[in-house]
């Protein structure tokens, strides 16, 4: 044991001796250790370099990814309108046009109601003050110097006007185009006598594609189509002054006593006028009440919708020229008026009449044959 320790001690001292001479075997052993240590050091240095490069590339990629996602998320998080605004900011601004002003257009019913109001409330002999109290002060006085109607003063009203600028668009000439286009619903003229009383009235209005004129005066009343012009025939209906007086009295109480001794054609004309005025109570009162000839009651008649009664133009066309027709008796208490409603008609029209037990002529139910 002591010998072994001594040999180990000698070897260690010999190893530390600077003058020691290495054997070839020891030299090779030392060189191998140096090479091995060098190779290990290179490996240890190369691996951190590789790791550092990969880390750097990954870090750059992560930064780019975060930047792109942040930008996209920022755009998506903006309101849709703001996003759209960015896309059109380079476009030339488009000048917006002012919206077109839409003016009101009055219906045929509104116009018809106004016409009926004027006919019912403005009557012959009414004073100028009474007229203005009903219709207001928005009228225009018209030059009356060349009047042939006997009036000493004329005034005009426009009603149901689309554009307020046309409120006083009134002259001697009827504003046919404006009336036809519903820019003016009703144009109303009044002539006054030297006593400041209503001497005549004229109402101009549109229905469908036609412009109509209703006139009332000392010689009676009439209605005719004034537009469009018809070269073939005139569409017109009139009441004489005597018939107008009877008609107005009858409207007051619908009593047949006012019809005593009135001829069948005049009775038929009163019936037509009541249709034109939409006085359906008077229309029914003019129908026969002779037993066996009544087809429906007054209560049933009141339920008939106005749309089933026909327009003013339809009434005018149906009964056109009835005032020039001929009455042809048929039996003990019957007869009909034969007339030519249109020159283009294949045959003449017939309007049936019935004489009641009291001797007064009345209109038959469904009189047109």
Here the CATH number for the domain that contains residue 281 is 3.10.450
Q: How many folded domains does the chain comprise? A: 3
The answer to the question of residue 77 being in a domain is yes
Q: What is the pLDDT of residue 221?
A: 96
The reply to whether 34 and 110 lie within a common domain is no
Which among 35, 62, 95 is the end of a domain? 95
Q: What is the pLDDT of residue 61?
A: 58
Q: What is the pLDDT of residue 148?
A: 76
Containing structural domain, residue 208: 104-229
Q: What is the pLDDT of residue 111?
A: 96
The reply to whether 134 and 246 lie within a common domain is no
Q: What is the pLDDT of residue 105?
A: 85
Q: Are 41 and 34 in contact (CB under 8 A)?
A: no
Q: Are 355 and 362 in contact (CB under 8 A)?
A: yes
DSSP state of 1: -
**Contacts of 125 by beta carbon, 8 Å cutoff, 6+ apart:** 197, 198
The reply to whether 59 and 108 lie within a common domain is no
The reply to whether 111 and 221 lie within a common domain is yes
The answer to the question of residue 282 being in a domain is yes
Give 10-residue mean pLDDT values along the chain (369 residues).
Answer: 58 51 55 52 48 55 56 46 42 55 82 95 96 97 79 96 94 95 97 96 96 96 92 88 97 97 98 96 98 97 94 96 96 96 90 96 94
Q: What is the pLDDT of residue 51?
A: 45
The answer to the question of residue 30 being in a domain is yes
The answer to the question of residue 300 being in a domain is yes
The reply to whether 275 and 354 lie within a common domain is yes
Which one, of 157, 182, 181, 160, lies nearest residue 170 by Cα? 157
The reply to whether 288 and 362 lie within a common domain is yes
The reply to whether 219 and 250 lie within a common domain is no
Exposed/middle/buried for residue 46 (C-beta within 10 Å: 0-12, 13-18, 19+): exposed
Instruction: Report CA Rg, the chain.
Output: 55
Q: How far apart are the first and last CA of the chain?
A: 162
- From residue 285, alpha-carbon distances to 9, 74, 254, 293, 311 in Å are 159, 84, 6, 14, 20
The reply to whether 139 and 220 lie within a common domain is yes
Give the global pTM: 0.71
Which among 47, 74, 95 is the end of a domain? 95
The answer to the question of residue 15 being in a domain is no
Q: What is the pLDDT of residue 314?
A: 96
The answer to the question of residue 149 being in a domain is yes
Residue environment code for 157-185, b if the CB has 16+ CB neighbours within 10 A, otherwise e: bbbbbbeeeeeebbeeebbbebbbebbbb
- Positions of E strands within the chain: 140-142, 153-161, 184-192, 198-207, 210-217, 220-227, 236-239, 326-329, 334-339, 349-355, 361-368
The reply to whether 91 and 147 lie within a common domain is no
Which among 95, 128, 153 is the end of a domain? 95
Q: What is the pLDDT of residue 143?
A: 85
Q: What is the pLDDT of residue 132?
A: 98
The reply to whether 151 and 210 lie within a common domain is yes
The reply to whether 83 and 172 lie within a common domain is no
The reply to whether 90 and 42 lie within a common domain is yes
């Amino acid at each position: 044991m002591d010998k072994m320790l001594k040999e180990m001690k000698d070897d260690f001292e010999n190893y530390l001796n600077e003058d020691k001479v290495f054997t070839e075997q020891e030299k090779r052993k030392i060189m191998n250790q140096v090479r091995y240590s060098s190779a290990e050091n290179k490996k240890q240095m190369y691996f951190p370099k590789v790791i550092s490069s990969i880390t750097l590339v990954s870090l750059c990629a992560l930064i780019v990814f975060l930047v792109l996602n942040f930008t996209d998320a920022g755009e998506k998080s903006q309101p849709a309108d703001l996003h759209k605004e960015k896309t059109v900011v380079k476009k030339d601004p488009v000048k917006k046009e002012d919206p077109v002003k839409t003016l009101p257009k009055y219906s045929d019913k509104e116009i018809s109601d106004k016409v009926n109001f004027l006919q019912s409330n403005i009557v012959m002999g009414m004073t100028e003050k009474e007229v203005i109290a009903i219709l207001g002060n928005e009228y225009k006085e018209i030059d009356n110097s060349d009047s042939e109607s006997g009036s000493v003063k004329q005034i005009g009203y426009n009603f149901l006007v689309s554009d307020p600028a046309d409120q006083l668009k009134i002259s001697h000439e009827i504003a046919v185009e404006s009336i036809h286009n519903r820019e003016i619903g009703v144009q109303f003229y009044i002539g006054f006598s030297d006593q400041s009383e209503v001497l005549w009235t004229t109402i101009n209005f549109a229905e469908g594609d036609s412009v109509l004129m209703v006139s009332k005066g000392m010689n009676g009343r009439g209605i005719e189509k004034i537009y469009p012009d018809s070269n073939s025939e005139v569409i017109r209906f009139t009441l004489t002054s005597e018939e107008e007086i009877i008609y107005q009295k009858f409207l007051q109480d619908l009593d047949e006593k006012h019809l005593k001794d009135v001829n069948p054609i005049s009775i038929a004309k009163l019936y037509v006028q009541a249709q034109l005025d939409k006085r359906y109570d008077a229309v029914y009162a003019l129908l026969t009440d002779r037993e066996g000839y009544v087809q429906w009651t007054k209560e049933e008649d009141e339920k008939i919708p106005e749309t089933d009664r026909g327009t003013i133009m339809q009434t005018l066309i149906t009964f056109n020229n009835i005032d020039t027709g001929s009455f042809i008796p048929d039996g003990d208490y019957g007869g009909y008026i034969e007339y030519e409603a249109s020159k283009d008609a294949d045959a003449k029209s017939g309007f049936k009449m019935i004489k009641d037990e009291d001797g007064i002529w009345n209109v038959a139910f469904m009189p047109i044959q």
